[in-house]
Each structure stands twice: as C-alpha cells, then as structure tokens.
Structure 1
C-alpha cells in the first residue's frame, strides 16, 4: 500500500512541478539554449539530418510549452521570455536555413503559438513582423526552398490569421505595412507610375504573399483569397493603404492572374457527354452518333473541370472583393483593370477569334461566357461585360458616379493608352462584331454542339440579365398601354388549343399530373425572374434596398414591350423548333428552355408570338346576350368570356410551328404500326427510371466522417446570396423530358395501364409501385445498382430493336417553312440527270434523318414543352393580371 501511495504522490509532485511557472521557464530556456548550441556547432545544417531532427523536436517542445502556458493561469514567464529575448528571430533563421520540411513545419507551429497566445503584443512588434515575413519569404517565396502543399497551406493560414487581426485592429497595420517612398501626407513621391503600377514588395510583403497564392486550389487558395479580402476591406480605414493599392501593381497582378487562368482553359471544347455515362434520355436517342473534334478537350474531363473551377473561383473572388471593399478609389481601380486587361484584351478577342469551322472554339467561348455570367451577380461586373460585348449604347445611370481621385484618373488613362492600337483601323470594336452576332450565327450552325452552347448562353442572359438583352439579343417595340387587351375567353380558347395539340402528340397518359407539376415550376420561375421582382414586391422605404450588392450601375428599367415577329433570334428559334423531331435531344432541351425563359419576362407581352393578337378576334355574328347577363356589368363579363376564333393567317408563330410538328407526327402515326404504343412505352420507361432514382435518393446515406476543410470557426467568409449558390452551376437538363428541374424529372404517372413492353411479354422491370417501394437496408446499394443496370439493359434492348432503328428522313425544301416526312411509300423516284436546274434546287433542300427511337423520344419531349407553354400562359394570366374579365 505504501508503494502505491508513494507512486501516486510522486506523480502529484511531478504534475505540480510541471505547472510551476519558474520550473517551466527553466526547462524552456534549457531547450532553447540546446537548439542554439546545435545550430552553432553544425557546419551545414541542411546536410545534417540528425541535427535537423534534434532541432525539430526542440521546436515542438517550445511550441507545446507555449500552448500549455497560454491555457494556464498567469504569470506566463515563457511568453515573457520569448518576447523580451526575441527568440523568434533565431527560430526564423534556423528554420529558413535548414532546408528541412520538418524543421520548417515546426517553425511555423512556433510562430502560430506566439500569435494565438494574444499576449506580449507580438503582432504589434516590428522585429516580430520582419522575422516572420523573412522566414516566409525564404520558405515559400520566389526562389525559395520549396515545401510540401500541407506546409504551404499552414503558412498561408498563418498569413490569413494576421490579415484577420489587421482587419479587426487597424492600429497594427503600420507594423506590417509601410510606405518608404511617401511624404508626410502619405502620398507616394519620386515614383514613375505606368499601367502596371509600382512594385514594392518590401512595403507590404504580407499582401504580396497572399496575392501569390490566390490562384491555388483547396485550403491554400481559400485562405489566401479570404486574407486578401481583409486587406482590401482594411483599405477603407487607412488612406495610406488606399493610395498605395491604387498606385501599386496589385490591381494589375489580380487582373493578369485572372487572364492567365482564362488562358489556361482549352481553346477548343467538346460538350458531348461521355458515352459510358450517358443520361437515360440521351441513351434513348441517336446521341451516340454525334462526333466530337478529337483535338477538343471534353467539358466533363476531370482535368478540365479543375481548371474551369479554379478560374470561376477566382472570378467569384473578384466579385467578393468589389462587394466588400469599402474604398471607392480601390473599387474603381480594380474595375478599370478588369475592363482593360481582362475584358477588352482577352475575353473579347477570344470571342472575335472564335470559329464554328474549326470544331470547338465557338463552343468553348460560348460555354465560358455562360459560366462567367452564371457565376457573377455583382452589377458593375455584369454591366461592364454585357454592355461591352453586346455593344450597347451608353445611357445615363439613375445615380451619378462618385468622382475619382487624380491618382485613379491617371491610372485609368495609362490603362486606356495601353489598350489603344497604333492605327485606328486595328482597333477591335464590338460594334463591328459582338456577342449578338456570335449567338445568331451559332444558332444557325450545322454543328449541334455550337447550337447547344448558344442556346444555353442565351437562356442565362434572358433569365438573369433580361434588361441587357432588350434591343440587342431580341428586338422589341415598347407597349404604350398597360391595360390588357386579351380576354379571358380568348385565353381559354388558346389554352384548349395548346392542350389539344399536346394530347394529339403523345396521348393523354400522364398529362394531368405533368401539367400540375409544370404549374408549380412556372410559378417558381416567374416569381424569381428579375423583371418580376419589382412587379410583385411590396412597397419599401427608400432606406431599405432590395439589391444585395450596392452599386452605382444597374441595367435600364424594363417596361412593357412586344416582341417583333421578325426578330432574328426568334426566327432562329422557330427554325430549330420546326426541325424538332430530328434535332438531337440536348438541342431540343436547350431550345425549349430558351423559349420558356423568354416567355417568363413579366413585361414581355405574349401577343403576336404565343397568343393571338386581340385585333384578330372574330366572334359569332349577332350572338344574343343571355337573359341572366342583361345588366351592363354582367353583359361586359359575358362578352369577355366569349371564345373567339381567328383566321389561320393570325395564328401565332409558335402555335403555327407546333401545329406543323403535329402534322409530321400524324404522318408518322399513319405510316408506322404501333406508333402510339411505342410512345407510351417510352413515357413509361422515363417514369419507371425516375421512380427508381427517387427511391435511391430517399435511401438513408451514411454520413461522411472526413474532416471539414472549411475556414476556422469564427473566421469571416464572404457572404453570397443563396440563389447565387444554388445557380452557380447550370443544372443539367439531360435526365428526362421535363427539363426544368435538377435531373429533368418526368413526374406524371400514366392514367391508363401501360402498354405491354417488348420484353417477351413482361412489363418494364416491374410495376411502378414496386419501383417506389423502399429497398431493404442490407446491401441496399448493391440492389439499387443492379436494379438500375437492369433498367438500362432493358431500355437499351428496346432502343436497339429493329423497329426503333428504322431511319426516317425529313426534307425541308429551300425557302420553305414546311417539313415533309419522307416515308417509304411517299419517296419520289430519283430524278433524271438532265434536269440540272431541279437537281440543283434539290441539293439546296435541307434533308435530315433520324431513327424512329430518337423521334419517339423527341415526341415525348415535345409534349412536355407544349404543356409548359400552357402552364406558362395560365400562371402569367393569374399572376400578372394579363387578361380582361370584363
């Protein structure tokens, strides 16, 4: 018993000795002196692994002691000793000359312990700042030893922490930032400022280290970008720092860095999905027949995705800097550099040099522009890009811009001189060729990838930045009356016409459920459209702003307007729609989304392109008014509810085009046996696939135990609106015909029994109710994978059947707006060679063909699109009061 008592007692004495401040200081000094002795006795530390190991363990001991003391009650003698003796200078020299990663890592840990102690005012000490930045410069600076990525991340995190302290405590900024060439008023003197600005790394080495690492991925880039945000935020509290940034090369480095990342992106791009990972809707079509340029990089390759995401993250960083920078001078300088060095000298020339002939450069530029506009929400950046690329005329903003300082004006003049060519004829002017020209030419391309890329970019501009599209992408005329002219009776007639057309295309199965789903989707789309926000928003006080970003620039106000029927973009969309059955599936999904997005603007009247112009209404002559509507008010209501008729010449272009497509489907239905059965099976295939996918999503997932890579708790991170995060990546529309949500759901359940499939009398992988049943927990993932594999196997079997492989040819005669279905019994005999004129005319005909399986998939998509149009018209009428009831 005495043995255990003595043992425990000895342990208590040892613990007490450890917590004794005096004894802790003695051990701390001893270990520090041992490190100095090893350093002095070693002739070449970088070549002595044993000495480096002893020093590394010594640094660890010092760091552990400091961390323990910080958590212990005062007095903190070790921290006092470290501050008074400036032992960090020796640690900096030893770690920098060791060229050993272990020593460097432990040296970084030692500095972090001093900073985290928040005692002795280390961050306010000039010697501490100089020793730390000298250590970092010799470790990860230009011509340094080079360390591992994890050590580099620790160093950048250390810099991030210092920048955070500077932001919270502006009084410590002079320790880390000095202007050696400034006069008593803080103005830079005896410096020649050119377009690149002044490079003075010795003034603010912390800032330059951060700018050197903002392009990195992962933790390094995140800490560097957020730390640099703190520096720009601090410029609003320091006039000297503000003027230093305006005159320095920091804005140039940021702009050229963005340009360098953009230049690393592939000049030629293929947006075709990999064949091994084709979504279901693409696999049930002729998508595999599309060929990409072997010289083009794939949009879906992991390497390209890394480059693209790095560029977009840096672009978002620009947006965050402008949004959080409180200095108007700095913000204007950054915007000027973005405009000249990136937009005018890099982005626009890439647009100008793009071509549809080389098989990928036009696709690349259109895709990059779409992702850029999709990622940006800062009004000044969006305005600058679209105003320049669309060659929009200048207009006076609602609020005057803040005047610039003389220094900012000189920097802008230098930049403009840099971008000016020697000869006026060499000037690249968007008025000669701009984004509108590229989009219009791309929508008429014979390359499906170019068409898809153009449609997706058009959708982003119409959806997010509709005000910039007016008068540029789409030609309009202003509406001078606000009261609606359409009547509720005309609306009901038009809805019935479109619904009848939808049923005639692909049958009644699932139409009700699909239409109800589209109503919800269109309500969400219309409510979130930028043109709808002002119309639906409640009145607010002048001090309460609706915009997330405060800006002096905004797009012009969008008033009521009509779409000109001869609008080139709309005519291109109709031409694509006329060839809907032979288009590739992704083109059709992009086309329908563009048309729906165009119709989502609350200020764009539907008359003349979707709806009938009210002046063309015809009512039954001398139709008697019912007795129950004898009073004047009721009589007006009865008149508004009458269902009009109209001549064929007054049919809206969109409806006329859809009726032409219905005629093509009727010709196929008359010639192909079991055509409706094939369509029903295809709809059921999409339905079953969706049920299985939803069942898989509903299966509980095991939570990941991986450590978080986010910034430390309590640190400030840029706040981005939720809708920006949700739309940062453009949703895929290649899962099912619906195409309006992530995954392109096809939610409707057939109201009639599904037609029997061609799998030897069996139904398609069981009934829908079985597909919705939850899978058992044991080996659920394996069963889900097997089930999905069976689905794709069965569907592929159907798609490859001889009947669905049948090729059907369509011909659009030259200078004609009708497409003929060239069925086997209708094909004319070959013409004689002597008829040279006729043969030449036939060569100009647009002849396309597709398999029956491909056409059936497009018919299902077309029905969904018509239902979307109906839902759009109905929701608009109720949400924006677009029809008269009296």
Structure 2
C-alpha cells in the first residue's frame, strides 16, 4: 500500500483524492486524527527536540498540517468535526507542552498558529474555557520568558497579535474575563488595619493575569508588536469598568509604575545636547537665501537629522501618546488617578523638570534639546489632565484645588490609598532633594533663553512660547505673559481708527514694493488668518452660535484634576510684561536677526494677539483712550443723497427715526484721530523704524528693488518645486521653518549625516540653481510668500468687510532711475533678466550678448554677497498718513519738517565716529568685503556682537525684507479679522 501511495503522490489523482477528503467531514476527521497521532509519535520518539533536528522537523510538519486542516475546515460548511475533536480531546494541552519543551523556534511558531486558529474559529467556546486559557497563557509566558530561546521579530509579532485577539474578545464579551483573570481572594476580616483600610493581601501578581503582563512587556516596542501590545492593554483597561475586581487589581498592580518608568527610560535615551539641522539636500529656501550656516555637531552634540535620534524621539512620543490613549479609554477614576499620580512624580518631577533645571545655554545645546522635547510633548498631547499636570507644575501655578482633593479623599478606594502611600514613601527622599519649581519655573528658563547669544536657543524658545500660546493659552495668562483682567465695557477702536491703522500697515507694505498680484496674496493671507483665529482654543466660546437663552456659555476644557486654571476672561498685556519687551527688543534688529529668529518672533506676536479675549489696543494698536481729534477735521455729514455711496450701506432715515443723535455718533466714529508718533505703541514705532531702514537700504544698495524682486520670484519658483521631505519623508523639525505653523509631531527621516560635510553655502548652492532657473525659464507671477505655502493660493478678496484696506494691485512698472549698474534688461521690468536682442536672437547664438548677461549676473552676485549694517533713511512722521499708494510704486518723500499732526521729527540719531554715511544713512556697503553670502555664522557660546558692529549679507537683508512684508500683510489681516469676528470696532 505504501508503494502505491508513493507512486501516485503529487499527481492529479492524488490532488483530487485530497480535495475529496477535505470535503467529506468524516474523511477529514480521520485524516486529522491520523496526523495528530503522528505528531505524538514523533514527539515521544525523540528524547530532546532541541538537539534532534530530524524529529523537530517532523513535529513542525505535523503541526503545520494540523493547523492547515483546521483553517480549511473553518471556511467550510458545518459540521466541523476536527474543531470539535480538538476541544473534546483538549489537543492544545500536549501541543503547548511540545512547544514549551522543544526550544525550537519553528515548532513554537506552528504552535502559536495552531492556537490562533482555534481562537479565530469562534466555536466550541475555546476562549471561555479555563483549561484553554491556562494552557495558552502558560505557553505564551514560557516562550517569551527569560529562560526561553530568542524569538524572531515575526514570531514575536504573531505572539503579541494572538494576545491582542484575546483582549479583543474580552472587550466584546466581558463574561469571558474570569477564564483569563483570577481575582485575588480578600483577606480575613480580622486582618484589617487599625485605621479602617483593608490590608490588601492579594497584591497584583503576574500569575493573576499573565496576559496583562505579557502585553505590558511589549508596549515599548516599535512597529506592529508595540501597536498590538498597546491596543490590547487599552482594551483590558477599558474592560475594568465592567469588573470591580479587575479595576482594583489594576490599581494595585505595577502598571502605573512600569508605564512611568518606561516613559522615563525612553526620555533618558534622548540626546542631552541637540542642534537643529537640515539635510544638505533639503535646506529650506528661506534659509538658503540667508546667512544660515549649518551647525557642526560633535561627539556629544547630536544633530536633529540623525536617524538614531529620530528613532528615539518617535518611540518616546508614541509612548507618550499611548499614555494619553490609556487615559481616554479608562473609565475608572481610581485607575486614572493612579496613572496620573505616577506620571507626575516619576516622570515629571524626577526627570522632566530636573532636565529643564540643569540645562544650560553655555554647554552647546542642552537648552536646545530640553526645550525642543518639551515643545514636542505639548504639541503631541491634548488630554486636559496631562496638560494640567505638566504646565501647572512647570509654570509654578499655585495649587488652588488642594483643599478640594482632601474633601473627596474618602471616596477613593482602599487600593488607591495604599498605592498612593507606597508611591509617596518610595519617592520621599527624592522629592525632598528636588528643587522647588516655585523658585525656578519654566517662565524663568524662557526669559533666560530669550536673552541668549545663541540663535538656535532663541529659535526653539520662541517655538515653545508659540506652542503654549497657541494650544494652551489659559495657562500662559499671568505666568508666561503678565496680563491684567478688564472689567466692564471695553472701549474698542472706532471705525475711523480701524481704517487708519489698516492703511498704515498697508502703506508700510507698499513702501517695500514688489510686482506680484498682492490682492490675491492678501486674500489668501486673510483666509488663512481667519482659519487660525477661528481655531484658537479661546475663540469657540466667542463665535459659537447661541442655540438658546440658557446656553450662553460654552463649556471649557473638561479637567478632572483640581488646580486647573479658570476659563479665560477679557484681558490685556501689562506695560511691564518682560516677554513682550524682550520680543520687541529682538524685533528692533529685524534685518540683522537670523531668519529663523524673525519667523519665531512674528509667529509669537501673532499668537499673542490671536486670542479673542485679548485686548490688542494699547500694545499692538493705539489705545482709544488716547485718541486726539483735530478740531478742523470734521467727517462729511451723512445725507440720503450720500447714502448710495456709503460703504456701510446705512439707512439714514431709519437711523434718524431710531435716535436723532445716532448720526452724530456715527460721524464721530468715522473721524480719524490725529496720527501722533508719541502716542503710538512701541510695536508700531518699530514697524515705522524698520520701514525707514528699508528706505536706507534702497538708497545705499545698488539695484535694491531689482534684487528684491528677484528674491521674491525665486521664492515663488522654489514654492512650486516639491521639497525632498514632501516627496519622501517629513524632515525634523516639524517641517520647514518657512511654513507658518509647525507640525505637531516630527517624522523619522531616511538620511543621516554624522558630520557636516563640506558643501556649497546656502546661497551659492540652492540660490544659484534657482536663479539659473529664473533666467532660463522666466519667473511666473504667482501670489507666493516665504512664510507659508498656503499663500500661493489665489482667490478673491474675502474677510468681513471691516475696514478693508483699499486695493493694493500693482500699477504699471516704473522704470528705475539710472544707476551705476543699469542694464538694458531693466527698462520697466524691475528684475534683471537675461538680455535678449530685439530680433529675438538667443544668447547662445550671440556670444557677446551672452558674455554681457553673465557679467551682469556676476555683478548681482557680488552685490548679494557684500556685508551691510543697519541702514536707515529718516522719513517724516507724517509719511504713514500719505496712504493709498500702490505696492510697487516708489514711496514719495516729504520735505523735512512737514508733518500733518504737527509733531516735530525726532532728532537724528548720532552717527558712529567711524561711519562715513551721508545724513540719510548710518552706514553703507563695505566695498572691500565681497565674501560669499553665507560667511556669517551665528554666534555660539560667545558674547553677542553689538548691533552697531554686526553686519550681514545683502542676500540676508533681502530675505528678511520679504519676511517683514509678509508679516505686515498678516498684521493687517489679523486686525481686520478680529474686528469682524469679535466685534471690536465701534460705529456709534
């Protein structure tokens, strides 16, 4: 018989016979029993499967065949005799024993697949059987224990996936929990403590719930293994709401301790010193067109582009998100309180705060590292209790809810009390030695880092401040920002002052010049600003529709912990606020600052003013209390004839019928206050001074307008080229700094650079390639901005119509004045383009013309590489009132001493002794310095260069000028959108 069997093997006749046997339940069962008997025979015949490779291979094949038969049967119609046979004979008992004693990776794999098939069959109540549960958990514990062989990642994934499948069934069918969880028996009545608390004899042990601890061991892993483990653990914690025994067991277990210490271990793996860097092939254009120099990492300073660092950061943040998921899924107050308590004491107080306290700006990157990690934490989390713990402790907010927590302590379970006491005892010594956060808070660290000489430290600090203001604004009030509440009626600006201030901002933008369709640019910025303000956490309570008279207050964040700050109220920034003072101090040196610093400053100022409860009058705009009107300046009286041309579409007759004095009040609100420089906030004065500095640059730098237009068009072309980080993977940190809003969580990158290889400077490499594309292809006119990719969108002017600035479309180009570097290509174009003869002859066909074009480009490169200091052109104080000019027009100057508001111009600042500047500029281009554009390296660990001595390249200045113009558009949009959303403009 064996001869004929071997003869017809692997023939169509054999395949047909096998298929027929699979269809017949009786023959299928007979075959299954036969394979099972061979398995037992092979196992018993071998003394040691670990050393008997032939027997181990035969056992593996028999297990594989049994699993195949079971899997095939589950897809066939009833009956399923093989599955029933497995349940009745408890085949899983010997199979589990075979796998645990084999020490063979492939036998273990097939045994796991066998059990997974039984679990997935959903027949014979395998998951409800206590014998099956004991056999499977014994198998999983032994094959993953310390004395087992090392399993491959694929087998480990199958093991954890099997455990996850069981937790899924427990979640769907809570009644099967007793088969997998053995609740400890309560102690006798006489063993109670004298204070009334139960003496919890049955402290959580692994044998009570082995599946639980198996998942806990894998929650820190990456990939599918970690995902299965974390999700399975979430299902178990969620099931605790249906079982008092399980809830108390989790509280008594060391889950919270393991999770907190595991999070701390992952945090400790992060580099203590960090520099923010970018891959050489993915340098953002806004940095390439500046004096940016890549940092040079050392053996102890890690670049942010390191794949190893990225992997550690991703794992840490993923585990932090797991903490948040656990709290979101947990319905037990006791379990949640235990987790939060361990998170605060073990991770927050013992690791995170000491790392902030010990960081320094003088050791080459520890401040950069810890501030970056804290920002990533705050941007990754949104659970109110976790945010409350972190910011409440680090900002030194007084604990206002301590008394309330004592009142409810009686309701906390006995296990919860004991766990808290054990934690307090364990950490008593460490807590005593720890520094008091009330003595040195995160606010102190932020103020110190903003005064740093390291641009990277300032940059990451501004990012952290922006994240707190943007996402957790109520914690920043009275801590990070010194504010004062406003009670009663708020005196907002009038419509006349609103239009005046909008035109002031737009006049500054128009003075910068340009030849784009700035109507489309501003419309896009207006839409983006509207979205940003509407998405502010404080805005929803102001703009949410009132569905009823009783529902007049939108509920705030649902905090379960005491001590959370109250809801935000109407407030404004105090005059002595150190944060705003420091920001404006950096803002005054706008053109000398690194571009990253300027982006951080403008973003932070925007976030300060984005809250709907923040009163911007007084620090961002003029205070209505200081409005002064000219007695001769009377607004045109309203009449029915003028009603047709009225932009507000007011019905005069209806107004008169309502209130005879209403027209007078409306006319009064439409009057424009006297623009007095002495009454302007410091912020607006700085904007005016920066505009004066641009005027000085325009006079002292040859071809300034042409080079500025070239730079703008270069940004537009760079915006159309997808960066490598968008084509492959996102690059740390959180996208390019030229994007207005950072991404919440960085992604790992595929490139690495252990050292900084020699490469072309930012401008020489990236910028020259873009300028070459400009000359070859021509620059398409596109509404783009270096601050945000969204600014490239086109659309009609939107908004709320509250004091919308007049049209800012560019006029026909004005031919520039003749200068020493005029070229034939400049006539009416505003940009140096390749010279093309009138007959259309190409440059490569005319070597003379090609040589001239190359010479002109070389001159431009020399201009861009030269170093300049702050150059100011003092304009009259009344210049901002000459509004209505178009962007692209040269600003018209007044004779000195002519001021509409009657103010005298401030005295001209004294010149340095070494300066040979004319009366219209404080310094000029250093003709001797023709170094390349990126020779200025940001100072690191050295005293800052005095502003009067610091010089940057012309290329750097041009980039900052474009950033400033974009910021002016954002400010105008901010003022306009706030007026419409929050009703900040008075008409009567």
Q: TM-score, normalised by structure 2?
A: 0.75
Tell me if 1:805 matches 2:865. Answer: yes
CA RMSD after TM alignment? 3.9
Residue matched to 1:326: 331
Q: Partner of 1:883: helix, strand, or coil?
A: coil
Q: Does 1:411 align with 2:415?
A: no
Partner of 2:69: 65
Alignment match of 2:672 (pick from 633, 639, 643) = 643
Residue 501 of structure 1, aligned match among 495, 508, 525: 508
Task: Answer whether contact 1:390 1:434 (CA < 8 A) is retained.
Answer: yes
SS of 1:415's partner is helix
**Paired residue for 1:874, among 968, 976, 979?**
976
Residues 491-538 of structure 1, C-alpha deviation per residue, up to 9 Å, x if partnerless? 111111111111213446443222111100110011100110111112
Residue of structure 1 in register with 2:619 after alignment: 609
Question: What is aligned with 1:787?
Answer: none
CA distance in 1 between partners of 2:561 and 2:908 (Å): 47
Paired position in structure 2 for 1:833 = none
* Contact in 2 for aligned 1:378/1:549 (Cα 8 Å): no
Counterpart secondary structure, 2:719: helix
The equivalent position to 2:699 in structure 1, one of 645, 648, 670, is 670
Query: The residue matched to 1:530 in structure 2 has which SS?
Result: coil
Q: Is the 8 A contact 1:680 1:755 kept in 2?
A: no
**Residue 865 in 1 paired to residue 967 in 2?**
yes
Q: Name the CA distance, whole Å, in 2 between partners of 1:819 and 1:441.
A: 31
| Closer, same or farther: CA 497–134 of 1 in aligned 2, 3 Å | same
The alpha-carbon deviation at position 119 of structure 1 amounts to 1.1
C-alpha distance in 1, partners of 2:134/2:672? 84
Q: Does 1:124 align with 2:128?
A: yes
CA shift at 1:747, angstroms?
7.0
Distance 2:742 2:31 in 1: 53
Q: 2:259 aligns with which of 254, 268, 272?
A: 254
Q: Kindly state the Cα deviation for residue 246 of structure 1 after the two structures are TM-superposed.
A: 1.0
How far apart, in 1, do the equivalents of 2:25 and 2:235 lie?
A: 37
Counterpart of 2:835 in structure 1 is: 761
1:219-247 CA-to-partner distances (Å, cap 9, x unmatched) read 00100000000010011111111111111
Give yes or no for contact 1:810–1:819 (8 Å, CA) kept in 2.
no
Name the residue aligned to 1:100: 104
Shift of the 135–819 alpha-carbon distance from structure 1 to 2, 3 Å rule, reads farther
Local SS of the residue matching 1:213: coil
Report deviation, 1:276.
Answer: 3.4
**In structure 1, what is the Cα distance between the partners aligned to 2:486 and 2:66?**
77
Bigger Cα displacement from structure 2, 127-136 vs 278-287: 127-136
- Call closer, same or farther: CA 1:102–1:613 in 2, change over 3 Å: same
Q: Show the counterpart of 2:395.
A: 390
> Paired residue for 1:654?
683
Is the CA contact 2:719–2:784 (under 8 Å) kept in the aligned structure 1? no
Q: Which runs of 5+ in 1 are unaligned?
A: 1-6, 703-723, 764-793, 829-840
Match of 1:707 in 2: none
Q: Is the 8 A contact 1:610 1:654 kept in 2?
A: yes
The answer (yes or no) to whether the contact 1:640–1:884 under 8 Å persists in 2 is yes
Within 2, Cα distance between the matches of 1:597 and 1:12? 74
Q: Distance in 2 between matches of 1:537 and 1:799?
A: 57
Secondary structure, aligned partner of 2:86: helix
Are 2:360 and 1:348 aligned? Answer: no
Task: Describe the shift of the 1:158–1:696 C-alpha distance in structure 2 as closer, same or farther (beyond 3 A).
Answer: closer
Tell me, in whole angstroms, the C-alpha distance in 2 between the residues paired with 1:429 and 1:528. 36
3-state SS of 1:358 partner: coil
Deviation at 1:473, TM superposition (A): 0.5
Which deviates further from its counterpart, 749-758 or 16-25?
749-758
Superposed, 1:707-722 pairs within 5 Å as none
| Pair 1:667–1:624, CA change in 2 (3 A) | closer
Shift in Å at residue 583 of structure 1?
1.2
Deviates more, 1:849-858 or 1:283-292: 283-292
Partner of 2:138: 134
TM-score, length-scaled by structure 1:
0.84
Q: Does 1:583 align with 2:593?
A: yes
1:300 deviates by 2.1
Equivalent pair of 1:811/1:819 in contact (CA under 8 Å): no
CA contact (8 A) 1:737 1:864 kept: no
In 2, Cα distance between equivalents of 1:26 and 1:857: 81
- CA distance in 1 between counterparts of 2:267 and 2:142 reads 30
2:484 counterpart (459, 473, 477): 477
Q: Residues 251 and 641 from structure 1, CA distance in 2 versus in 1: closer, same or farther, beyond 3 angstroms?
A: same
8 Å contact from structure 2 (residues 505, 968) kept in 1 = yes
- Taking the aligned partners of 2:375 and 2:180, their CA distance within structure 1 comes to 41
Equivalent residues in 2 for 1:463-474, closer than 5 Å: 463-474=470-481
Q: Distance in 1 between matches of 2:723 and 2:534?
A: 27
Look up the match of 1:446: 453
* 1:198 Cα deviation after fit: 4.7
C-alpha contact 2:170 2:176 (8 A) present in aligned 1: yes
- Give, in whole Å, the separation in 2 of the partners of 1:817 and 1:188: 85
Larger radius of gyration: 2
SS class of match (2:863) = coil
Maintained 8 Å contact 1:737/1:860: no
Cα 1:676/1:316, change in 2 over 3 Å = same
Q: How does 1:26-45 map to 2 (within 5 A)?
A: 26-45=30-49
8 Å CA contact 1:285, 1:853 repeated in 2: yes
Name structure 2 gaps, 5 residues minimum.
1-10, 640-655, 729-740, 750-765, 768-782, 796-808, 814-827, 838-853, 873-906, 925-942
Equivalences for 1:487-886 in 2 at 5 Å? 487-507=494-514, 509-539=516-546, 551=560, 555-624=565-634, 626-628=636-638, 631-693=660-722, 727-729=744-746, 738=785, 741=788, 755=829, 758=832, 760-761=834-835, 801-810=861-870, 825=917, 847-886=949-988
8 Å contact 2:618–2:681 — kept in the other structure? yes
CA deviation vs aligned residue, 1:753-803 (integer Å, no higher than 9, x gap): 79465564379xxxxxxxxxxxxxxxxxxxxxxxxxxxxxx9xx8899211
Q: For the Cα contact (< 8 Å) 1:210–1:228, is it kept in 2?
A: yes
- In structure 2, relative to structure 1, the CA distance for the partners of 1:607 and 1:808 (3 Å cut) is same
How many residue pairs are counted as aligned between the two chains?
Answer: 805
Equivalent residue, structure 2, for 1:54: 58
- How far apart, CA to CA, are the structure 2 residues paired with 1:84 and 1:297? 61
SS at match of 1:326: coil
Alpha-carbon distance, 1:848 to partner:
2.1
Aligned match for 1:335, one of 340, 343, 346: 340
Distance 1:843 1:647 in 2: 34
Between Structure 1 and Structure 2, which shows a larger proportion of helix residues?
1
- Deviation per CA, 1:111-151, whole angstroms, max 9, x where unpaired? 01100111111112222112212221222223321111111
